Amino acid sequence: MILRIYIQVILGVLLPRFSLHAAPNRNIDKLLNDSLEFTIQVAHNKVSAFAEILVDHNTLLVVVSEKDARIQETEQQLTDRGIFVESKKFNDSITNLRIISAHPFSSAKLEKHANKIKVNATLQSAFSFLQNHLKNPLPRSVPSVFLEKRFKEAEKLLVSGLYRQARDSFLEFTKVYETSAWARLRLADLAVLEGNLLASCEYYAAIAKEFGVRTAGLFSQLRLHMLQCEESQSLVDFSYLLARTQTLDGQVGQYLWQELLWSMEFANSPEDMDLILRPSEVDGEGRAIVRVIPEEVRQKLSARIFRQAQEPWQKLGVFYRYRFYFDRHWEQKDIFLQVAEKLQELDLLSDGISLLKILIKNKTKSKALWDKRRGDANAHALLATLAENNGNQKLAQSIRSYYPDLFGYLRKSHVQHDPEEKVKTLRDSVRELEEKITTMRDTVNVYGANEKGKI
d(CA 278, CA 254): 21
Q: Write out the H or E segment, with its range, that includes residue 272.
A: helix 270-277
Q: Which of 8-12, 175-179, 336-340, 402-406 has the highest mean pLDDT?
A: 336-340
Q: How many CB atoms lie within 10 A of CB 425?
A: 17
Please give the average per-residue pLDDT across 326-330, as a whole number.
89
Position 246 pLDDT exceeds 90: no
Strands 59-64 and 94-101: antiparallel
- Assess whether pLDDT exceeds 50 at residue 332: yes
Does residue 232 have a pLDDT over 60?
yes
Closest CA relative to residue 449, chosen from 441, 437, 438: 441
pLDDT in tens, 372-410: 888 888 888 888 889 888 888 888 887 777 665 555 544
Q: Is the pLDDT of residue 319 over 90?
A: yes
Residue 317's Cβ-count burial label (10 Å; 0-12, 13-18, 19+) is buried
% residues pLDDT > 70 (the chain): 77
Rounded CA separation 162/155 (Å): 10
Could you give the CA distance from residue 239 to residue 222 in angstroms, rounded to a whole number?
12
Residue type, 377: A
Sign of CA dihedral 363, 365, 370, 371: positive
Q: Quick one: 360 exposed, middle or buried, by C-beta within 10 A (0-12, 13-18, 19+)? A: middle
Out of 122-131, 248-257, 351-360, pick the least confident. 248-257
Q: Which one has a higher pLDDT value, 306 or 137?
A: 306
Q: How crowded is residue 442: how many other Cβ atoms within 10 Å of its Cβ?
A: 10
Q: What is the pLDDT of residue 414?
A: 44
Reported as a single tens digit per residue, the pLDDT across 14-42 is 443 433 333 333 343 444 456 777 788 77
End-to-end CA distance of the chain: 68
What are the helix and strand counts (H, E) for the chain? Answer: 21, 8
Share of the chain above pLDDT 90, in %: 9
At 363 the three-state DSSP class reads coil
Under DSSP, the state recorded for 237 is: -
Task: Report d(CA 446, CA 304) in Å as an integer.
Answer: 70
pLDDT at 152: 82
Structure confidence at residue 453 (pLDDT): 41
Cβ contacts of 40 within 8 Å, gap of 6 or more: 49, 62, 64, 69, 70, 71, 72, 97, 116, 117, 118, 119
Instruction: Report the alpha-carbon distance of residue 97 to residue 44 in Å, rounded.
Output: 18
CA distance linking residue 194 with residue 78, whole number of Å: 30
pLDDT of 260 = 85
pLDDT at 339 over 80: yes
- Predicted confidence band of residue 335 (pLDDT cuts 50, 70, 90): very high
List of residues 6+ apart from 31 with CB closer than 8 A? 125, 127, 128, 195, 197
For residue 90, list its beta bridge partners. 94
86 Cβ contact list (under 8 Å, min separation 6): 97, 98, 100
* pLDDT for the residue 10: 42
